[in-house]
Amino acid sequence: MSAPAPATGTFNGKLALLLAMAMFVLVVDTSIMNVSISAVVADIGTTVSGVQSAIALEALVSAAFILIGSKTGDLIGRKRAYVIGLLCYATGAVAMTLAQTLVPIIIFWAVLGGLGASLLLPAMQSLIHGNFEGAAQKRVYALVGGSAAIAAAVGPLLGGFITTFLSWRIAFLLEAVVIGVVLLGIRLVRDVPYTGARRIDVVGSILSVFGMGGVVIGILVWQEGEGPVIAIISGGLLCLVGLGFWLVRRRRRERATLLDPDLFRSKPFRIGVTQQMLQQIALGGSMIVLPIYLQMVLGYNALQAGLSLAPLSLSMFAVAMIAGRMKRQLRPANLVLSGFLLLLAGLLTLIFVVPRASSGWLLLAPLLVCGCGLGLLVSQLNNYTLSPISDERVSEAAGVNSAAGSFGLSFGLAFAGAIMLASLAFVFTNMSEASSVIPEDEKPRVAQVLEADAQFMSDAALADLLVAQPPPIQEEILRINAEARPIALQVALLLPTLTALAGIVNALRMRRLPDPVASGSGNTLLD
């Protein structure tokens, strides 16, 4: 194995900022699309389901090809893969700006953009690894992770504002401009050459596409609330298990592999990837529960809900920056443990506050605590997982790390949403059955209507649905709705809470291991 490419221990602020801008665009893109659905539908004369299908397709393509994208970066060059990924995103953004039908959105934004993401994510992490080392590398990982957190939180707010007061096309045009600025600084990026085998593992590539794609399709079907979810996810998982056996077999025969299975012999790598997934499950679960609570229970509009959630993202970003720049070297395992402990404390406080809050201001303190915890995690996990990896293997490791994070976020969003709806249906049914106001012969129909139509309606929307009912029944159903929603939201918050507990257990395992040593110090992958 050749020596790693030289890296610099100095902090290149301009390069770090450009990498953070690229990550911001990558994350904010889908958020803008989500909040612009109705405007896109009206403007190009398509359907909501058509636009939602494009969003789902983009998520599917990026997840299905993420492991192939990491290997492609090895074969064509990490810097070139980074540039191609950015150009794919810019093409998708320009297509959105000019689109008059759904077809260019599907081709350029969903398919081409999804392929761009599969190249961009692992290439970006590889280039951070190869262009920085030591404290500077840790700081850049924290900055890029913090920019992703900010994008996830402010994306809906930013997209909603631009769509409302300007145009959704302007939002995507601004994305293309930002990517143009990032590409203007590409000369600052030094490539990290790959010297390993250049043969292609065709079977491994196919298994990875069907494995990752199957899991993501299952999650998307789960979000829609119908379809053979278990069968699809099980099929995807079987393909991933098959991929694992295939990689080990190929490695023993000294043949080319899509991923080096020896990566998973490293306990720090396995724990780091797992912690990344757990962090993203907690973030995804929280980010679907809290906006629904603010908009449906407190009656906030999208702008007010976004402002109420700003403390979470801002504290997350601030703490990630502070932790990434600390002069005193604290153990990463201790910081990760502190992060999950703070996240758990904030979530438990939210569960207590949810049924009692009459204003978003009452969520301020627990959101700040959650944000501080997530900030500590963002500042450490990518560096902990990837810094010990040799330059030759870093693309593969970054692909696995990115895949784990993407899966965690999607799973958190889907599972927390499913838990909310199931809990709401259960509570609605039981409370309507126990009501002394609703006539006995009406109870089954009322419960069915509430389950099928009410879901997470605001009180005003539900009142419109009940306009034909007698006033006493209207008042009773509104009461049931008001009492059931906080319970369902509390139950849904158990997902990120239990995930934080799992992260604490894993962090205790991290503390029993020696801290990983960066490959730039002359070490390669682990023992």
pLDDT tens across 465-483, in order? 666 666 777 677 777 777 7
Residue 86: predicted pLDDT: 92
Per-residue pLDDT for 114 more than 50?
yes
Query: What mean pLDDT comes out for the span 390-398?
Result: 75
Which token pair is 88?
């794919």
SS (H, E, C) 39-102: HHHHHHCCCHHHHHHHHHHHHHHHHHCHHHHHHHHHHHCHHHHHHHHHHHHHHHHHHHHHCCCH
| pLDDT > 70 in the chain, percent | 84
Q: Taking all residues of the chain, what is their mean pLDDT, rounded to a whole number?
A: 79
Q: How far is residue 65 from each of residues 70, 72, 82, 104, 400, measured CA to CA in Å?
A: 9, 10, 15, 21, 11
Give 337 or 77, the one with higher predicted confidence.
337
Phi-psi map region of 438: left, alpha, beta (phi>0 left; psi -120 to 50 alpha): beta
DSSP string, 162-222: HHHHT-HHHHHHHHHHHHHHHHHTGGGPPP----S-----HHHHHHHHHHHHHHHHHHHHH
Half-sphere exposure of 418 (CA within 13 A, CB side): 17
Per-residue pLDDT for 1 more than 70?
no
Range in 60-74, 152-166, 447-461 the model is least confident about: 447-461
pLDDT tens across 242-258, in order? 888 888 888 888 777 77
Half-sphere exposure of 325 (CA within 13 A, CB side): 10
Which token pair is 458?
């605001």
Alpha-carbon distance of 215 to 142, in angstroms, equals: 29
Q: Residue 513 has what DSSP assignment?
A: S
Half-sphere exposure of 127 (CA within 13 A, CB side): 29
| Alpha-helical segments (H) within 253-301 | 267-292
Query: What mean pLDDT comes out for the span 339-364?
Result: 86
CA max distance for the chain = 79
Sign of CA dihedral 406, 315, 120, 306: positive
Q: What angle do CA 330, 333, 334 make, to 5 degrees?
A: 60
Residues 6+ apart with CB under 8 A from 435: 443, 476, 480
SS (H, E, C) 433-477: HHCCCCCHHHHHHHHHHHHHHHCCCCHHHHHHHCCCCCHHHHHHH
| Strand (E) or helix (H) holding 387 | none
Which token pair is 373?
């915890």
Which token pair is 394?
């870093």
Residue owning tokens 């810019």: 90
Give the number of residues written for the chain.
527
Alpha-carbon distance of 407 to 258, in angstroms, equals: 19
Alpha-carbon distance of 9 to 137, in angstroms, equals: 8
Residue 498: predicted pLDDT: 94
Residue 398: predicted pLDDT: 80
